Amino acid sequence: MASDISKEDAIKFLYQDADKIKKLISNQKNHLCIAQCKAFEEVVDTQMYGFSKQVEFAVKLDIMTNEEGHRILGELEKELNNVYTEVYEEQKEI
């Protein structure tokens, strides 16, 4: 059973997965769980590892270039770092 999927669709799905991770982080930020739950960091690490493997697979299948893969991972990591920085700064003020 063959499935035809375009490169554009595959990349769109990767960006949707990245958005899910961003939402997970954002929702927990609202509950201040990031600062208080070490288990949450493990969840984020696991999500990021899984996502990086998806990107790696897409690169191997020539769905995206290595540079595109690095860019999507870099964007997500930058956004996560921004959230962690915001939480850290908020905790310093308390």
Q: Report yes or no on 2 lying in a domain.
A: no
Model confidence band, residue 92 (pLDDT cutoffs 50, 70, 90): confident
Number of folded domains that form the chain: 1
Q: Report yes or no on 1 lying in a domain.
A: no
Domain of 69, CATH number, reads 1.10.287.750
% the chain with pLDDT above 70: 84
The domain containing residue 17 runs over which residues? 8-93
Q: Report yes or no on 23 lying in a domain.
A: yes
| Residue in the block written with tokens 């990245």 | 18
Model confidence band, residue 3 (pLDDT cutoffs 50, 70, 90): low
Q: Report yes or no on 3 lying in a domain.
A: no
% the chain with pLDDT above 90: 48
User: In Å, what is the CA distance from 74 to each residue of 18, 20, 48, 57?
Assistant: 11, 16, 11, 17
Model confidence band, residue 69 (pLDDT cutoffs 50, 70, 90): very high
Q: Which amino acid is at 83?
A: V
Instruction: Identify the pLDDT of residue 1.
Output: 41
